Structure formats: structure tokens, C-alpha cells
Amino acid sequence: MLESLFGQLRCHQRRVSGRKSTRELRDFGQYQVLFLAESEEEVLAQIRQVSLEEYRENRRRLEEAEAPRRLLHRLHRDPLRTMRDLVEQHAARRAALTSTADEPPPQPGDT
């Protein structure tokens, strides 16, 4: 039901704005849902139908999808700090990879 509701909102957003993009809906869609619902309890009842595991999985996928946009935003706002953070992340991952590569593989019977 929520997917259908957001699909209707996207269609309406395209028709009203005349644009193909529905970026505004991504940023403010949750508020539009509140305005369309009869009450807050109605929205809560619809949200409660979704299992916690499914919600967490969707949140994780949303975070992954938003990561490139956040990186570009940070890069635009503060390029030096962003590049410094990326270099530090690279150094940490490289150190972690070399430390695991130096360890001998576990022998059968080791616990």
C-alpha cells in the first residue's frame, strides 16, 4: 500500500512539475504522505504492517543508494577534508588487508 501511495505521489509530482525527476519527493515525500493520510494513526498502522527485518533491509539499501550523493555533496562543500578522509579510509583498508594477508591460514583442527 505504501509503495502504491509513493507511486501515486511520484506521478503527481511529475505532472505538477513537468519534470521527469522526482528528487523533491525523495527529500520531502514522507511529509506529503502525512498530509494525504486522514490521521497520524492511519500512517502508523500502515507502517506497522512492515516487518522490522524488512524495514532494516530497506534502510540499509537506502543508505547504500544515498552514499554517492552524500559523497558528491561533501566533495562540493569541503573538498580538502573529503579527500583527506578518503585517503585515511584507503590507508586503513590497505593496512587491514596487509595484516590479514600476513596471517597464516588456519590449520585443520585449530579452534
Q: Regarding predicted confidence, which is higher, 51 or 76?
A: 76
Please state the domain extents for the chain.
1-49, 52-101
| pLDDT 10s digits, 58-82 | 888 888 888 888 999 999 999 999 9
Model confidence, pTM: 0.48
pLDDT band at 22 (very low <50, low <70, confident <90, very high): low
Count Cα neighbours of 9 within 13 Å in the Cβ-side half-sphere. Answer: 22
Rounded distance between C-alpha atoms, residue 105 and residue 107, angstroms: 6
